[in-house]
Amino acid sequence: MALDMKRIEIGENLTTEFKREYTEEIKKAIIAFANTAGGTIYIGINDDKSIAGVNNPDDTLLQVSNVVRSAIKPDLTLFVDCKTEKKGKSTIIVITVQKGTACPYYLAGKGIRPEGVYIRQGSSSVPATETAILSMIKETDGEKYEDVRSLNQDLTFKEAKKFFEMENVPFGLNQHKTLHLQTADGVYTNLGLLLSDQSVHTVKLAVFEGLEKEVFKDRREFSGSLLKQLYEINEHLDIHNHTHAQIKGLVRLENRDYPEDALREALLNALVHRDYAFSSSTIISIFDDRVEFVSIGGLPKGVSLDDIMLGISVPRNEKLANIFYRLHLIEAYGTGIPKIMRSYVDCKRKPELLATGNAFKITLPNRNMNNHKVTVNNFSFTENEEKVITLLNKQSEIVRKNVETALSISQAMAVRILRGLLDKGIIRAVGGGKKTRYVKAL
């Protein structure tokens, strides 16, 4: 642009900005040009386009250089040229800004949000909308969610650090970058967001009475770092993984509703392979006869359910899967589904997999659904009777008071339970009156 000794011929526009002197607003204009189409900022020009000059050009150059280096992220120094130009007796500062290759650029103190990201509209630098910010991120970083820069840059990793320490895996600032939680210039990615205490993705777990989604018995929502969610959900699933017994003679055989390996692998699958580009929660539903894990995101392109059954694995979140592997949560890629199926090898009902374009569901059948009551010699036992049998398996004899205390029931209820077990020939009475004792029937 040609400059005469007194005035500039053209006015401010999409790629041109005038400043009478250096102000903090200049960094917003630099960011706006870098995020839009590039441009030039002239310091020492009045609003009427007359040349006023800069009194201390060296100091101003230093201020601009410091702002570009320390107040703007990602690093923009390669795209900004700052120099002085002598015009008659006046000296002006000319800042040339190219469009950057790592948009969106933003104020380091504000983060990747509208108050930190600026774009050019006409002759003004204005805050970008969230839609515009997401569009810039997608254009720069590509489609893979875990590689994209996080909109929230104020992340902490207190919970994640605990789990890394449990496995004796280093988790310092260097690992943040090697594990891809941060970019090379220190910007947090969405992978970092997933492991951070500020993770926005949740898992909703509900326990229903019966076989349909009609009556809630319990419901929880798990949030925070995915590692924290994993351990909390696993503990909650364990609480609802009931143990049932079958008595053969005087031997009590215990069997849990669901194989622990199957629950664990289904949960890992739901967390590691879901599509986090969608905000919907992962859903876990526990019924009397099954547990359903529903995660957002269908199968990766080119992969079928048959492929999954054979152990073929194409991780949607490859870097997240690698972290879980390092923490010994995943043994090897592609082993989860086959392990689930093997855990049901002796069961009539098998796990079911269902994939749609936008969701993936694993259904684990309750192995004890048709055997909730202990049976001996064709007799069925109530839950309280089963507890009394368990009590007798732990000690050689009991009295009525033991039953009242162990089951927290009334005297009359304890009498009825003991009478029922006597009638079924499971126990026998020794002595009489208040001193009656009960032992296992021979």
Q: State whether 109 and 22 are in the same domain.
A: yes
pLDDT at 156: 96
8 belongs to a structural domain: no
Under a CB-based contact definition with an 8 Å cutoff, are residues 78 and 34 in contact?
no
Residue 179 lies in a domain: no
Looking at the structure, tell me whether residues 357 and 266 fall in a common domain: yes
Tokens of 166: 């449990």
- Tens-digit pLDDT profile for the chain (442 aa)? 444 456 666 677 888 889 888 888 899 999 999 999 999 999 988 877 788 888 888 898 999 999 999 899 888 988 999 999 887 788 889 999 999 888 899 998 888 889 999 999 988 899 999 888 888 887 877 678 898 888 888 999 999 999 999 999 999 999 999 999 998 888 899 999 999 999 999 999 999 988 888 888 899 999 999 999 999 999 999 999 988 766 665 556 668 899 999 999 999 999 999 999 888 899 999 998 999 999 998 887 777 788 777 777 777 899 999 999 999 998 766 678 889 999 998 888 899 998 888 899 999 999 887 544 445 555 566 778 888 888 888 788 899 999 998 888 888 888 888 988 888 888 888 888 888 999 987 6
Are β-strands 203-209 and 282-286 bridged in parallel, bridged antiparallel, or unpaired? parallel
| Tally of structural domains, the chain | 3
Catalogue the E-assigned strands of 75-138. Answer: 80-87, 90-97, 106-107, 118-121, 124-127
Specify whether 211 is located in the same domain as 243: yes
Residue 389 confidence (pLDDT): 85
226 with 349, same domain? yes
CA-to-CA distance for 227 and 237, rounded, in angstroms? 15
CA distance 263 to 364: 8
Residues 340 and 249 placed together within one structural domain of the fold:
yes
Residue 261 is predicted with a pLDDT of 92
The CA-CA-CA angle for residues 171, 175, 176, to 5°, reads: 95
Select from 348, 215, 238 the least CA-distant residue to 291. 238
The structure tokens listed for 75 are: 């690093």
On whether residue 154 sits in a domain, the answer given is no
φ, ψ dihedrals at 7, nearest 5°: -140, 160
Residues 102 and 249 placed together within one structural domain of the fold = no
Instruction: Give the pLDDT confidence score for residue 357 in this predicted structure.
Output: 81
Domain CATH number, residue 281? 3.30.565.60
C-beta atoms surrounding 140 within 10 Å: 15
75 and 208 share a domain? Answer: no
Please report whether residue 162 resides in a domain.
no
Q: Is residue 95 part of a domain?
A: yes
Q: List all residues 6 or more positions away from 78 whose beta carbon is below 8 Å from its beta carbon.
A: none
Identify the domain containing residue 421 by its residue range.
379-440
Distance separating alpha carbons of residues 191 and 176, to the nearest angstrom: 10
Residue 400's CATH number: 1.10.10.10
169: in domain: no
DSSP letter at 301? T
d(CA 338, CA 332): 12
> Which contiguous run of DSSP H or E holds residue 439?
strand 437-440
Q: Residue 442: what pLDDT?
A: 60
- 182: nearest Cα among 201, 195, 169, 170: 195
In a domain, 1, yes or no: no
Q: Is 247 within the bounds of a domain? A: yes
Best CA proximity match to 96, nearest among 111, 105, 87, 83: 83
Domain boundary among the residues 87, 108, 140 is at 140
**Helix or strand (DSSP H, E) at 294:** strand 290-296
Per-residue b or e along 187-220, where b marks 16 or more CB atoms closer than 10 Å to that residue's CB: bbbbbbbbbbebbebebbbbbbeeeeeeeeeeee
- What length is written for the chain? 442
Quote the CA–CA distance of 117 and 200 in Å, as a whole number.
21
Residues 345 and 388 in one domain: no
Is residue 212 located within the same domain as residue 360?
A: yes
CATH number of the domain bearing residue 110:
3.30.950.30
Does residue 202 contact residue 221 with C-beta atoms inside 8 Å? yes
What distance in Å separates the CA atoms of residue 194 and residue 152, rounded to the nearest whole number? 11
Q: What are phi and psi of 181, to 5 degrees?
A: -75, -25
Residue 343 shares a structural domain with residue 432: no
Burial code (b: 16+ CB inside 10 Å, e: under 16) for 95-134 equals bebeebebbbbbbeebbbbbebbbbbeeeebebbeeebbe
Do 131 and 258 fall within a single domain?
no
- Of 140, 156, 173, the domain-final residue: 140
Here the tokens at position 419 are 């009478």
- Shared domain for 410 and 330, answered yes or no, is no
Q: Which of 140, 156, 181 is the last residue of a domain?
A: 140
Which residue in the block uniquely carries the two structure tokens 């972290």?
323
Q: How far apart are CA 318 and CA 324, in angstroms?
A: 10
Residue 328: what residue type? H
